[in-house]
Amino acid sequence: MPEGDTVWQTAKRLHTALAGRTLTRTDFRVPKYATVDLTGRTVLDVTPRGKHLLTRIEGGLTLHSHLGMEGSWKVYADQQRWTGGPAHQIRVILAAAPDTEAPDARPARTAVGYRLPVLDLLRTTEEHNTVGHLGPDLLGPDWDPDRALANLLTDPARPIGEALLDQRNLAGIGNVYKSELCFLLRVTPWLPIGALPAEHTAQLPVLAKKLLEANRDRPVRSTTGRRGQDLFVYGRARRPCLRCTTPIRAADQGDGSRERPTYWCPACQAGPAPSTAPGAASHRRAQHRTTN
């Protein structure tokens, strides 16, 4: 599932493949940009911002994309078979010329965006209109744990899981890290963030950054450090907890407008959960929308 670490890896691959090269072909397969042709322009850089990707192109343009739940960018060499999905799922193609002046004589590369729910071409000077609302980026140069913590605590009654997913508080957390962080802190994702013990509250942004940094260069995400048991709770419904053997539980969290699968151990993690949460909790959650 694409989260901050996945987006960071994607940006690194795209930057390596495209930055400093001239585009030899662009093919936008979304109606809004069907006639756009960026051939002849140079790709300047590819930068991640939370869960967003910003591909900056000569002429003051930025191609903004978001992976959503199922999107991906793939990079292919000449004559390599494209394996990211059927052709009708392709949203954009960016082909770059070989870099014969580089010390390693980089060959031509083609970047293909599949199933991208968000794809916008905008002026680079207007990037703030798209990502300016985001909180500190856990893997970015703007990371500020104190600001992130202050953002999270703005609404003390908000469930911690929802606060972590709100990208306006801190950018990069998704359903996987939400569930894993709550397990490591031994609280349920439905616990009001203001009720989190003080020592855990201060630890939260630090631990979040530690997890994402540890995984940004890994091909397989791991929060446990155990081979073959990569995650503590996410995706492990009905399987035994790695800490106490109690079966892991799963439920959706939020107002129902988006799929928010959430996993927790009912024995190891203290706090309300769907079967025991006060009746007002569901009303409270419905008042919040997570902003990506």
Active site residues: 2-3, 51, 260
Is residue 157 within 8 A of residue 195, CB to CB? The reply is: no
Helical (H) or strand (E) element with 128: helix 128-131
- Looking up tokens 């994702």 gives 189
Q: Which two tokens stand for residue 40?
A: 């002849």
Alpha carbons 138 and 209: distance in angstroms, whole number: 5
Q: List Cβ<8 Å contacts ≥24 apart for 218-221.
A: 218/5, 221/5, 221/6, 221/176
Q: Which two tokens stand for residue 113?
A: 């965006």
Helical (H) or strand (E) element with 75: strand 72-77
DSSP alpha helices (H): ranges in 141-247?
Answer: 145-152, 160-165, 175-184, 198-215
Query: 3-class SS at 48?
Result: strand
